[in-house]
Amino acid sequence: MTDLDDIFTARGSVLIAGASINGSTADIAIDETGTIAAIGEDARRAIDADIVIDGSDRLAVPGLVNTHTHAAMTLLRGYADDMLLQEWLSQKIWPLEAHLTGDDVYAGTKLACLEMIKSGTVAFNDMYFFMDRAAAAVDDMGMRATLAYGFIDLGMEEKREAEIKATEALVDHIRSLNNPRIQAAVGPHSVYTVSPEGLSWCAEYAKEQGIGIHVHLSETEKEVTDCVAQFGKRPTYLLDEYGCLTPRTVAAHCCWLDEAECRLLGERGVSASHNPASNMKLAVNRAMPYHWLKQYGANVALGTDGCSSNNNLDIFEEMKFAALLQKFAWNSPTLLPAGEAVMMATAAGARALGIGPGTLTVGAPADIVLLDARAVCNTPLYNPDSNIVYACNGGAVMTVLCGGRVLMHERTVPGEEEIIQEAAAAARSLIERAKNSA
Amino acid sequence: MTDLDDIFTARGSVLIAGASINGSTADIAIDETGTIAAIGEDARRAIDADIVIDGSDRLAVPGLVNTHTHAAMTLLRGYADDMLLQEWLSQKIWPLEAHLTGDDVYAGTKLACLEMIKSGTVAFNDMYFFMDRAAAAVDDMGMRATLAYGFIDLGMEEKREAEIKATEALVDHIRSLNNPRIQAAVGPHSVYTVSPEGLSWCAEYAKEQGIGIHVHLSETEKEVTDCVAQFGKRPTYLLDEYGCLTPRTVAAHCCWLDEAECRLLGERGVSASHNPASNMKLAVNRAMPYHWLKQYGANVALGTDGCSSNNNLDIFEEMKFAALLQKFAWNSPTLLPAGEAVMMATAAGARALGIGPGTLTVGAPADIVLLDARAVCNTPLYNPDSNIVYACNGGAVMTVLCGGRVLMHERTVPGEEEIIQEAAAAARSLIERAKNSA
């Protein structure tokens, strides 16, 4: 087995020896390109491994995907809670965000990446600002991410021009990084913050650039009633009218959809990102109609939302919140069983971001998480999906590989203490600046 | 500082040096009786410490209390999920429980104790069977527990006589243990499983013995409608009629209470155990009316329920589920703020079980949890209650003391590997026996 010190610096092919996959013990071979080359009896012959990881007492599962984040908001974790949405935004979140710098976004996104790696997430779909600095953090941490600048024009042409420039600049910047793990998306914030002209530009630009769209959709009842009052139609139809619903669109929240809107999202091949913890904390008063979205073939994935409305990035916890909220809110103990929750966090998430099948199969990117099969939460282990969704949290994750590169091993992430110290310092400085300007 | 090897075996006074308590750094002195002798500047002079624990980078909080468990059901964790309540019970849970032995209950309760210690819980309120063996597990693990035999007569006199004998035997047995951390309670299961004669005997016996009552109350709508149909009154009034509502009663679930029932529980000084994860998973379709219980002065605490309907015993997770479910179900983002959730899990839990104030104060039992202040979930740390409830899980717990005895330090619990192995073996054997008899 490769030593802990070497495992993060060595590059090349990787053998995971004797892990438990879907109830059987098997070796996994990963080639130099970061692709799963073989699973099972052929694996040891398939590669001449540069790195060998002991898989005994480990459950191998696909890397988790977080399809809706505002990663740098880790710096606002716990700054304000238990408030009415509008007061929380206008009195607490926006005034603090006004003081955020690019350095803060770098430090906050790095903390978010550390947190996601420590809980088994390999890829995320992010919308915020100073996104070039978010990209630098993702690059440093070795994860996958789809990064969108949050486009908000509030119906003002001058602001729209600035948002267009910012969006184009980010897309150009990310292309220049030439990092296959980082891709850009266009981020029209929502129907209540972006004009029809803005939505239209976003859709056309995304099409022209061949990139995805990341948008908030029907999070609150007010969003729906205001949209109907202003435009005479519900938000899903407005997005569709301006071309924003595509197979590369991720629509976050989707709480207040009616059945016909779910059908349209299914027809357009949209991915819906379910954010149950955020929706509960902000009391949006309706759970995503998962049953309709599933029925009409929309791709339903999972997201945590930002750390000021959750307040963590643990997709294990989010799987449990999703499975339990759906049961409770729609009054059905059989809705969203454990296996479907795992699929939402893996295959559906990977599909939403276009990063492979999100499964442990030959030819797939080697995005692999090893869980401690001897942890209390995995004892006993009748049905791993149940343990993963209902009993474990991210603390059961021991090892994380993203594209064949080891990001965490035996719960150690290189540089984690510095990342935590720097984020804590950035948060202190942010509060200080906000105080001094008040 | 005392070495890890010695910290579990040494006995006597304990100094926790320089921990963060409510935002200040202070020493905590614990005397030989397991009581907090001093906090702050006097602490080092108050005792001649036999054990010294480094409190730097640690948040000290009161030990958590789980007020509703069926601890040995850890052996059924993940055995059956995502089913209708009646099918789940009749096809899965009861057939397996029929094969449970005293040895299984010992192994399963020990696993539960390990799980609770690892997530910062020092005391729990348990109802199950073979409770003498549960007591042995608690005794071995050094926790506090209130143990009740689940009294179920189903209206049959012969069965009632057997339940009375079993209850009396457990109370006698626990008294004979002479362990100040373990107390007995009477456990009338519910109004739908215990006859009025049974409820009446339980209430009188509890009064005579000076012990508490542990009962399920208004978990499902069916329980309420059936009770009204059979007895002409709602379950709370039936329990009250037969004397089961006392200041030493813990009523679990309390989902389907109306406002008048909440007022009565407040008047009787009853403790209500909120079990949000279980209620969501089983789709009981109504959240405990916390606002009424609070308004009328009932003592609202937290519980996980058993591991077949949750499926873990992490009170940190339960605090988050409680705070979020109340907001979502009652449509108020300001309901059950973080500070109240922490109180439910500490002071209210301790009051429910009569085990001191559940606070870090001089004269209180030294039930103390040290959290990692440098964990990702505690970064940044604007408001510790928020981090505890919304961001952390039990994995942030580093050290646990119960009555001054160190049960976990630096996440190590003595003997944990054997406990896990023995529980896994007990579960395998249980399944085997159930299969062979089928």
pLDDT digits (tens, 9 = 90+) for A309-366: 999 999 999 999 999 999 999 999 999 999 999 999 999 999 999 999 999 999 999 9
Does A216 belong to an annotated binding site? Answer: yes
User: Residue A379: which of B111, B283, B287 has the nearest Cβ?
Assistant: B111
Give the residue among A242, A245, A253, A271 at the shortest CA–CA distance from A153: A242
**Residue of A219, A379, A411 to mutate, testing the B interface (most B Cβ within 10 Å of its Cβ):** A379
> What does the pLDDT average to over B278-283?
97
**What pLDDT is recorded for position B5?**
80
**Residue of A20, A79, A82, A315 to mutate, testing the B interface (most B Cβ within 10 Å of its Cβ):** A82
CB contact under 8 A, A285 and B387: no
Give the residue among A280, A267, A179 at the shortest CA–CA distance from B320: A280
pLDDT digits over A100-132, tens only? 999 999 999 999 999 999 999 999 999 999 999
pLDDT band at A4 (very low <50, low <70, confident <90, very high): confident
Please check whether residue A265 is in contact with residue A236, taking contact to mean a CB–CB distance below 8 angstroms: yes
pLDDT band at B2 (very low <50, low <70, confident <90, very high): confident
Minimum distance, in Å, between the CA of residue B282 and any CA atom of chain A: 5
Mapping DSSP to helix (H, G, I), strand (E, B) and coil, where does residue B195 land? coil
User: Residue A333: which of B282, B374, B428 has the nearest Cβ?
Assistant: B282
Contact list in B for residue A109 (CB cut-off 8 A) is none
pLDDT band at A65 (very low <50, low <70, confident <90, very high): very high
pLDDT reading at A438 higher than 80:
no
Please check whether residue A243 is in contact with residue A186, taking contact to mean a CB–CB distance below 8 angstroms: no
**What pLDDT is recorded for position B1?**
81
pLDDT band at B3 (very low <50, low <70, confident <90, very high): confident
Per-residue burial over B155-171, b = 16 or more CB atoms within 10 Å of its CB, e = otherwise? eeeeebeebbebbeebb
Annotation: binding site of B for Zn(2+): 68, 70, 216, 305
Q: Taking all residues of chain A, what is their mean pLDDT, rounded to a whole number? A: 97
What residues contact residue B330 under an 8 Å CB cut-off, 6+ apart?
Answer: B287, B289, B290, B291
Using alpha carbons, list the distances in angstroms from residue A437 to A348, A430, B192.
44, 11, 62
> What does the pLDDT average to over A389-409?
98
pLDDT reading at A2 higher than 90:
no
SS (H, E, C) A93-119: HHHHHCCCCHHHHHHHHHHHHHHHHHC
pLDDT band at A85 (very low <50, low <70, confident <90, very high): confident
Does A97 belong to an annotated binding site? Answer: yes
Set out the domains of chain B in order of their start, with CATH numbers.
4-62+361-415 (2.30.40.10), 64-353 (3.20.20.140)
Contact list in B for residue A386 (CB cut-off 8 A) is 77-78, 81, 311
Dist CA B208 CA B362 (whole Å): 32
User: Residue A115: which of B374, B376, B428 has the nearest Cβ?
Assistant: B376
Q: Taking all residues of chain B, what is their mean pLDDT, rounded to a whole number? A: 97
Give the residue among B280, B278, B269 at the shortest CA–CA distance from B240: B269
**What pLDDT is recorded for position B23?**
87
pLDDT digits over A181-240, tens only? 999 999 999 999 999 999 999 999 999 999 999 999 999 999 999 999 999 999 999 999
Rg over CA atoms, chain A: 21
Give the residue among B335, B304, B299, B297 at the shortest CA–CA distance from B319: B304
Contact list in B for residue A420 (CB cut-off 8 A) is 374, 376, 379
Share of chain A above pLDDT 70, in %: 100
pLDDT digits over A255-264, tens only? 999 999 999 9
Dist CA A252 CA B333 (whole Å): 20
Full DSSP string of A388-411: IIII--GGGEEEEEETTEEEEBTT
Dist CA A302 CA A325 (whole Å): 13
pLDDT digits over A35-56, tens only? 999 999 999 999 999 999 999 9
- Chain centroid to Cα B334, Å, comes to 26
Strand pairing of B212-217 and B144-151?
A: unpaired
**Residue of B376, B381, B388, B421 to mutate, testing the A interface (most A Cβ within 10 Å of its Cβ):** B376
Q: Which helix (H) or strand (E) holds A289?
A: none
pLDDT reading at B119 higher than 90:
yes
pLDDT reading at B438 higher than 80:
no
